[in-house]
Structure 1
Amino acid sequence: MHQTLAPHNRAEADQPYYLPTANETAVFTAAYRRKLPLMLKGPTGCGKTRFVEHMASTLGLPLISIACHDDITAADLVGRYLLTGGEMVWVAGPLTRAVRAGGICYLDEAVEARADSTVVIHPLDDHRRVLNIGRTGESIKAPPSFMLVLSHNPGYQSILKDLKQSTRQRMVAIEMGYPAADNEIAIVMRENGAGNACAAGLVKLANAIRKLDTSLLSEVSSTRTLVNTACLIN
């Protein structure tokens, strides 16, 4: 019998909920302690972003997320001069703020960004751990608590484009997928109070869809889709 997973204390209740499916929390923690950048690989809606939010909360680190897209530039990441009150003022970008804060910088779907923009992270994700700001001539040494995390959906993105090899080789990779049926049922129940029968039925349907020929489908049923569907049913 599946039971809704309730938090044990107030601190856990305030933490973004994430149910581990393998050893991903241990690998994330080890990479953080060894100051290694991390890449999460998995289909959309499998919990990559929630996992990062959960780990940032667990480690007590500020989290700055960047949703990557085709038009994002290096200046969007690092910062730029803007005209403010009649004078040019330097405004730091999210990557710069994350480095200075010593937190986690999460590049969501990093492959969507232009290749020339992601090159700026290379000095950050190797032994140098430095962010070079060309516009100001400044080099910021990342503090020990800073961590760079990328997410990547190789299922559909690799057809048209992929991460640069020089970027991939710098990363510790965690392969993520949709949870096992029992875990997925528990997640759907925990996220919105769905009953066991409702959650089990949705997960059974999702797993049947996932076994179909994916070339005939624009997308499959993700865990996120199941959570939203259960919410609408409720």
Structure 2
Amino acid sequence: MINTAPFYHVIHKESEVFFHAFQNKIPLLLKGPTGTGKSRFVEYMAHELDKKLITISCHEETSSTDLIGRFIIKGAETIWIDGPLTTAVKEGAILYLDEVAEARPDVIVAIHSLTDHRRELFIDKLGETVKAHEGFMLVASFNPGYQRGFKELKPSTKQRFVALSFDYPKPDIEAEILINESGIDESNAKKLVNIGRKIRNLTELGLTETVSTRLLVDAAKLIHSGLPKRLSVNVAVVEPLTDDPQTLEALKDLVALMI
């Protein structure tokens, strides 16, 4: 259980959607760029529902075995260890597959029977089928704009979920987030938000990813702790965005003007 309520600003009735999806035992898919609050939202809802949350950060090596479980040798015997997916299914927890599109295809196959009316998990190594606990919920997230055309969820998979779209919050809400997360004052919070919005609009730079709210929070924390403003923004926002020297200089010049 998450004991302390995570700060989250509800914008488009997403908490109502989550609650009704949970009540109706429908899996939920969160779509949006990195750093827009998808993971924080799931933590917030797990706290609101007083549910155990199990989070899996998916990557290209994440397999169904990692999620379902495996046999291990312990002393002179071989024993079965449940994976996080199996544990969540049995205990009735919320399972959050962060960046599910990054996982191997067999992960999608493994969760198919959990995302329809069956709500069951087949463990092929044990020859068992586990019926999901009444309180089990599957939540997944992915970034539709990342590596478009290379790693995307199939329409047949997406249609097994109800979906919510996330984007960067409006300036006043984003400033509120920075203040709550870092303790920074309102004036500097607004300056950081303006820098973030300006860089997001610079499409001609060809950045793979743009400034997330998460990066702005990091910059705000550094400023609040006493690091100079320009340096804070350069190391927390500019440097993580690109390795191209010309783009770095252009962004640093922009920050120097705006800070």
- Tell me whether 1:65 sits opposite 2:59 in the alignment: no
1:14, 1:110 → 2: CA distance? 26
- How far did 1:34 drift? 0.7
Letter in 2 for 1:203: V
Deviation string for 1:41-80 (max 9, x for gaps)?
Answer: 0000000000000000100110000011111111101001
TM-score normalized by structure 2?
A: 0.83
Q: Which residue of 2 aligns with 1:204?
A: 194
Q: Which residue of 1 aligns with 2:93?
A: 103
Deviation string for 1:17-41 (max 9, x for gaps)?
Answer: 1111211111111111110000000
Q: Which residue of 1 aligns with 2:127?
A: 137
- Tell me whether 1:94 sits opposite 2:84 in the alignment: yes
1:77, 1:103 → 2: CA distance? 14
Of 23, 27, 41 in structure 2, the residue corresponding to residue 33 of structure 1 is: 23
Of 163, 169, 190 in structure 2, the residue corresponding to residue 173 of structure 1 is: 163
2:6, 2:120 → 1: CA distance? 30
State the secondary structure of the residue aligned to 1:156. coil
TM-score normalized by structure 1?
A: 0.92
**Structure 1 pair 104/214, CA: closer, same or farther in 2 (3 Å)?**
farther
Q: Which residue of 1 aligns with 2:257?
A: none
Deviation string for 1:73-111 (max 9, x for gaps)?
Answer: 111010010111121110000000111110100000000
Q: What aligned pairs does 1:118-129 form with structure 2 within 5 A after superposition? A: 118-129=108-119
Q: Which residue of 1 aligns with 2:181?
A: 191
- How far did 1:161 drift? 1.6
Q: Which residue of 1 aligns with 2:146?
A: 156
- How far did 1:157 drift? 3.4
Q: Which residue of 1 aligns with 2:216?
A: 226
2:102, 2:212 → 1: CA distance? 20
State the secondary structure of the residue aligned to 1:136. coil
State the secondary structure of the residue aligned to 1:69. coil
- Gapped regions of structure 1 (runs ≥ 5): 1-11
- Tell me whether 1:56 sits opposite 2:46 in the alignment: yes
Query: Which one scores higher on RCO, CA 8 angstroms, separation ≥ 6?
Result: 1
Letter in 2 for 1:53: E
State the secondary structure of the residue aligned to 1:151. strand
**Structure 1 pair 163/231, CA: closer, same or farther in 2 (3 Å)?**
same
2:175, 2:88 → 1: CA distance? 35
1:130, 1:157 → 2: CA distance? 31
Larger Rg: 2
Taking only the aligned residue pairs, the percentage that are identical comes to: 48
Letter in 1 for 2:20: A
1:177, 1:18 → 2: CA distance? 14
Q: Which residue of 2 aligns with 1:115?
A: 105
**Structure 1 pair 214/131, CA: closer, same or farther in 2 (3 Å)?**
farther
Letter in 1 for 2:147: Q
2:212, 2:16 → 1: CA distance? 24
State the secondary structure of the residue aligned to 2:168. coil
Answer whether contact 2:3 2:47 (CA < 8 A) is retained: no
Answer whether contact 2:46 2:52 (CA < 8 A) is retained: yes
Deviation string for 1:124-181 (max 9, x for gaps)?
Answer: 0100000110111111111221100000100113232211232111010101111111
Letter in 1 for 2:162: V
Greater than 2 Å deviation, 4+ residue runs? none
- Gapped regions of structure 2 (runs ≥ 5): 225-259
2:65, 2:152 → 1: CA distance? 22
Answer whether contact 1:111 1:157 (CA < 8 A) is retained: no
